[in-house]
Amino acid sequence: MDKSMVSVVIPVYNEEAILNELVERCVKACDSMNRPYEVILVNDGSKDKSAKLICEAAEKHGGKIVGVLLNTNYGQHAAVNAGLEVSKGEYIITLDADLQNPPEEIPNLVATMDKGYDVVGTVRQNRQDTLFRRISSFMINTSVRKVTGVNMHDYGCMLRGYHRSVVNAMLQCHEHSKFIPILANSFAFNTTEIPVTHAERAVGDSKYSLWKLINLQFDLMTSMTTLPLRLLSVLGSCVCAFGFLLGLFIIVMRILKGDEWTQGGVFTLFAITFILMGGQFIAMGLLGEYIGRIFYNVRARPLYFIQRIVGRKQD
Ligand code: UDP
Ligand code: MG
C-alpha cells in the first residue's frame, strides 16, 4: 500500500501557553504513522509569543513543522484556508490548537482515510463545552444537514480529514465567509464519521465570544442559503391570502347579516391593508430572488470540479 503524505493544518491564535505541548504531541503522533507528513501551524496574527514559538518549532523539527505567519487576525477559517493553500499532502487533517481534540487521534483519521473516504468527520464523545455552545452547535448542525444533504453530526469539531481533491475544490472557492467543514461537505462524495475524545480546553479561554458566535451563525446562514429571502415571499403570500379571505368573509356576512355588521367599514379597511401589506412582502421577496441570484454569481464558484482524469497518456 502506498503511503500518501499527510498535512496537518492548525490555526493558532494567542496560544503560547499550549503551543509547545501541541507541537510535541503532534510530532509524536505523526511519527508513529511511518509516512511522510508536515504539520502546518498558521499564526493568525497572534498578539502573544505564538509566532516566535512557531518559528522556533519549525527550526527544531526541520521539515516536519511548517510555520505560516499571517500579518493580522483574519479568523479561524481564513487561517485554516491559508494552511490548506500551503499544504502539499494527499490527505489533509485540520485540528484546533487548544488540544480539545487530542492530536493522538490523527493516526486514526488517517487510517480511516486510507479506506478511501474523501471527507472524514468526527463526533465528539462526552463533549466538554458550555450549554450555550452545545445549543448553538445543535442548531448549526441540523440546518447544515438540511442544506448540504450530507448526514454528518458534528460540524463544530474541526478535527477532520480531507482528501486532496476536496481541498483543491475548496481552494477554488473565493467567497469571503468560508466555513471549511460545510464547504468540504458540499464537495464530498464518500464521507464517514469516527468518534473521537474531547477534552476541556487545557489553557486559556475560548477565542469565541458570544458576539463572535452570533456573527458566525448569521454568516453561516447567509453563506449557505438564500432561503430567508424566499421566506419573505411565502410570508407575503400568506398575509395577502388572509386579507383576501377576510374580504370575502366580510362580503358574505354583509349580505347575510346586513349593514351594521361591517362596523362602518373598519373590517374592510383591515382586509385591504392585509392585501396591500402582503403585496409589499411579495415584492420584497421578488427583489430577494434577484439578490439571491446576484449572490450566487458574485460568489463565482466553478460550475464543477474534476476529481480525476483517467486514461490519458502522459506526455
Ligand atoms: N483561532 C484562530 N483565529 C481566531 C480565533 C481562533 O486561528 O480568530 C484558532 C484558535 O487558536 C484555535 C481554533 O481557532 O486553534 C479554535 O479556537 P477556540 O478553541 O478558541 O474555539 P472553540 O474551541 O471555542 O470553538
Ligand atoms: Mg476549542
pLDDT digits (tens, 9 = 90+) for 61-97: 988 999 999 999 998 889 999 999 999 999 999 999 9
- Whose atoms come closest to the Cα of 208: which ligand? 1
Whether residue 217 is predicted with pLDDT greater than 60 in this model: the reply is yes
Q: Which whole number is the average pLDDT over 289-299?
A: 88
Q: Which residue has the higher pLDDT, 144 or 96?
A: 96
Atom of ligand 1 nearest to the CA of 13: 11
**pTM, two decimal places:** 0.79
The per-residue pLDDT for 218 is: 79
Q: Which whole number is the average pLDDT over 262-275?
A: 85
Dist. CA 97 → ligand 1 center (Å): 7
What confidence tier does 204 reach under pLDDT thresholds 50, 70, 90? low
Do 67 and 33 meet the contact criterion of CB atoms below 8 Å apart?
A: no
Dist. CA 207 → ligand 2 center (Å): 8
Whether residue 1 is predicted with pLDDT greater than 60 in this model: the reply is no
- Whose atoms come closest to the Cα of 206: which ligand? 1
What confidence tier does 315 reach under pLDDT thresholds 50, 70, 90? low
Q: Report the 3 state secondary structure along the chain.
A: CCCCCEEEEEEECCCHHHHHHHHHHHHHHHHCCCCCEEEEEEEECCCCCHHHHHHHHHHHCCCCEEEEEECCCCCHHHHHHHHHHHCCCCEEEECCCCCCCCHHHHHHHHHHHHCCCCEEEEEECCCCCCHHHHHHHHHHHHHHHHHHCCCCCCCCCCCEEEEHHHHHHHHCCCCCCCCHHHHHHHHCCCEEEEEECCCCCCCCCCCCCHHHHHHHHHHHHHHHCCHHHHHHHHHHHHHHHHHHHHHHHHHHHHHHHCHHHHHHHHHHHHHHHHHHHHHHHHHHHHHHHHHHHHHHHHHCCCCCCCCCCCCCCCC
- Whose atoms come closest to the Cα of 100: which ligand? 2
Whose cell is 438564500? That residue is 226
Hey, how many other C-beta atoms are within 10 angstroms of the C-beta on 97?
27
The residues lining ligand 1, judged by C-beta closer than 6 Å to any ligand atom, are 11-13, 15, 44, 73, 75-76, 79, 96-98, 100, 206-208
pLDDT digits (tens, 9 = 90+) for 6-58: 999 999 999 999 999 999 999 999 999 999 999 999 999 999 999 999 999 99
Dist. CA 140 → ligand 1 center (Å): 17
